[in-house]
Structure 1
Amino acid sequence: MTATLDLSRFEGIDLERLIADAALQTRVDRKYVLTRDAAARVVASLDARTLVLDTAGARSFRYESVYFDTPDLLSFRMAAQPRRRRFKLRTRTYLDSRTAFLELKTRGARSATVKDRVEYPASDRRRLTEMARDYAAEGLDSIGVGGRRADDLGVRLTTRYRRATFVSADRAARATVDVDLEWDDVAGPVLTTPHLVILETKSPAAASDVDRVLWRAGHRPVSISKYATGMAALHPHLPRNKWARLLRGPFAGALLHSPDSVRSPITRKEETSCADAA
């Protein structure tokens, strides 16, 4: 039986306070891939003064990200190969509140990473409007890729998961724990990892309390991108050396499904609700 994460022992913090208390301008992100059982032990070991995001009694929230790429997978290939220039374009939808954003992450020749996002209609989250393509073109131009490539961008992969967000006792760091991970490929197959958790810490340069708990338990940061690693797992012919250890290890137990077997009536109802709310 897979362990569940016990969030009940922590004091809750609302979104407004979380943003005010834990707004990290300069930060170091570290990602870990754990089994659900290991993640449950880590959460149980956290300082009792740790806070957890709480909205009207809910402490975990449903996310959906839709990633856009060119037919020749330019975004994926730039991430898979040792290139300084890269970009990632996605819509992120908070399914519980039915709000969405268009997010662009770029890295130029000097290795400076820029993250930007704008509000976006939830009903348009699986397509790029004219405004969205202009937004993407400007970002691609900024790293020397060429804004014209924005015209080639289309839906490639959708990820869904449930997230809990923690704030450290000293309010200096936060961590997210993603469960029920699912990758829905535009070409058909769906990959799920019911046994895995992706945990990410966000802190100033020094390691956070959560990092130290993870290290004491023998867990170390890994290089993982939900988009690129998911694509490599779904398509073995794609470049995969960067994530080979993950794919041979934790992701070896991933399950492949037909789209209809995973996209339940509940999921379809959520999609309709987002469209109606936009």
Structure 2
Amino acid sequence: MTDTMTDILSLLSEMKTISLEEMSAVKLMKRNDTKYVTNVPTLMRLLQLTQSKYYVQEINDSRIANYNTLYWDFCDDHHYYLIHAQKRKPRTKVRTRRYVDSGIAFLEIKRKDNHGKTRKKRVKVPMQDTIMQDSLVGEPFLEEQLGLKFSDLIPAMSNFFSRITLVNYEKTERVTIDFNLRFDNHETGKKQRLDNLVIIELKRDGRTHSPLLAMLRELRIKPSGFSKYVIGSAITNSSLRQNLLRKRLRTVAKRINHPDSYLKEYNDEEKKVNIEN
């Protein structure tokens, strides 16, 4: 275990916990979602501030969950990537997500409409990689939702990350904190990691009071759109159109305090260790 992970776990150990069953009661009917990008040292300071106002989700005695997501796109024009890179609406993502600690996986269709409202539908699949080996797994769901077959798409890019989930004591908002990001491009074979990057997403009920907003302002953490699929694809596939992303990539580099070399390649053995532990 790295020193960073040890420090994060130490901070989380000081917080009250909330179970997955209790989390299901936190229904945000009129939800506003806002993303923020920062770095690991600032995350440490943020966790100190949240200790007296937020629960941390705990599942099977663990307060950090590990995720593996595989994104699908059209092989000829990378339509889903381009739509997202251009911030056009409506837009769609097709992905399979595996909860590494439990092994449970879902095929998910995530849509954002013209009003910015996000809707997600999913179906459980035996294993994430099963779809790559047998396209009939999950294909009826894909046809029902989008009128597509898996033969129309290719597995484009995978990511791996760790997540902390917080809930305020009033249970009017959820906060997800993603870090330890790894990217693996299935087309180019290129792998990259963003060691110091932290993505925070605040999901709250309408415009209710949020203790987190004051903390974010205190730490000078500003709202910033961030798509793991788009950024991960851009930094692992140089053939994709990236002119619209240059500003966002510079912003990411600046906020994680590595303006010249914030990308680090990683090998298969290191990736294996990070996934399994």
Question: Which category describes the TM-score, using the shorter chain as reference length?
Answer: 0.7 to 0.9
Paired amino acid for 2:201? E
Asked if the contact 1:106/1:115 (under 8 Å) is kept, the reply is yes
Distance 2:252 2:234 in 1: 14
Distance 1:137 1:111 in 2: 24
2:246 maps to: 244
Counterparts of 1:1-278 in structure 2 under 5 Å?
A: 4-5=7-8, 6-20=11-25, 22-71=26-75, 72-108=77-113, 112-122=117-127, 124=129, 127=132, 129-130=135-136, 132-140=138-146, 147-148=147-148, 151-186=151-186, 187-206=188-207, 208-251=210-253, 252=259, 253-257=261-265, 259-264=267-272, 267=275, 270=276
Paired amino acid for 1:159? N
What's the offset of the Cα at 1:237? 4.3
What's the offset of the Cα at 1:68? 0.6
Structure 1 residue runs without a partner (length 5+): 141-146, 271-278
Distance 1:189 1:126 in 2: 22
1:273 maps to: none
Counterparts in 2 of 1:138 and 1:81: CA distance versus 1, 3 Å: farther
Other structure's SS at 1:254 match: coil
Paired amino acid for 1:191? Q
Asked if the contact 2:56/2:167 (under 8 Å) is kept, the reply is yes
Distance 1:2 1:62 in 2: 16
Structure 2 residue runs without a partner (length 5+): 254-258
The alignment yields a C-alpha RMSD, in angstroms, of: 2.5
Asked if the contact 1:32/1:220 (under 8 Å) is kept, the reply is yes
Other structure's SS at 2:21 match: helix
CA deviations on 1:35-94 (whole Å, 9 max, x unpaired) are 100111111111514100112321101111111111121110111124323110111111
TM (normalized to structure 2)? 0.84
Distance 1:55 1:215 in 2: 30
Distance 1:210 1:245 in 2: 27
Asked if the contact 1:30/1:201 (under 8 Å) is kept, the reply is yes
